[in-house]
């Protein structure tokens, strides 16, 4: 099966500009996550969707970050305006399991590397 797709793979912007990232999860996966991975650190959850509803956005800096998953499939993450400290890899993941599932695994996309100058 096709994996989690993300675009763009790389983005360089000036501070105070806006940027958007796109994610297409594995077909049929209802749960979608966005993680931020700063260099030298582990990924940190920004937001979790179940279908098109938000399950957890407690770590999302809502003054500048927004995310949507309008039709319960693709998702976009936006930063406006960007700050220097937003330089990171943004990872999208989708979840294969569910209650009673024999397996459970989050599948990760390749990520988008953002550099804010």
Partner 1 sequence: GDSVTQMEGPVTLSEEAFLTINCTYTATGYPSLFWYVQYPGEGLQLLLKATKADDKGSNKGFEATYRKETTSFHLEKGSVQVSDSAVYFCALTSANFGNEKLTFGTGTRLTIIP
Which residues sit at the interface with partner 1, rule CB under 8 A?
3-4, 31, 33, 35, 40-45, 48, 56, 91, 93, 95, 97-99, 101, 104-106, 108-111
Question: Would you tell me how many other CB atoms lie within 10 Å of the CB of residue 14?
Answer: 9
Closest distance to partner 1 from the beta carbon of 96 (Å): 9
Nearer to partner 1, 72 or 110 (CB): 110
Closest distance to partner 1 from the beta carbon of 17 (Å): 26
Query: Apex CA 62: angle with CA 92 and CA 69, to 5°?
Result: 40
Closest distance to partner 1 from the beta carbon of 81 (Å): 26
40-58 core/surface letters (b: 16 or more CB in 10 A; e: else): eeebebbbbbeeeeeeebe
Nearer to partner 1, 34 or 116 (CB): 34
β-strand partners of 44: 36
């Amino acid at each position: 099966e096709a994996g989690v797709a993300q675009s763009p793979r790389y983005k360089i912007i000036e501070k105070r500009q806006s940027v958007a990232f796109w994610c297409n999860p594995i077909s049929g996966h209802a749960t979608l996550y966005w993680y931020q991975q700063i260099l030298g650190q582990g990924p940190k959850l920004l937001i979790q969707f179940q279908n098109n509803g938000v399950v957890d956005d407690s770590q999302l800096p809502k003054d500048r970050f927004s995310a949507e998953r309008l039709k319960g499939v693709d998702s976009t993450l936006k930063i406006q305006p960007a700050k220097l400290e937003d330089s990171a890899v943004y990872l999208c993941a989708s979840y294969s399991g569910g209650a009673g599932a024999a397996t459970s695994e989050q599948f990760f996309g390749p990520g988008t590397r953002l550099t804010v100058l």
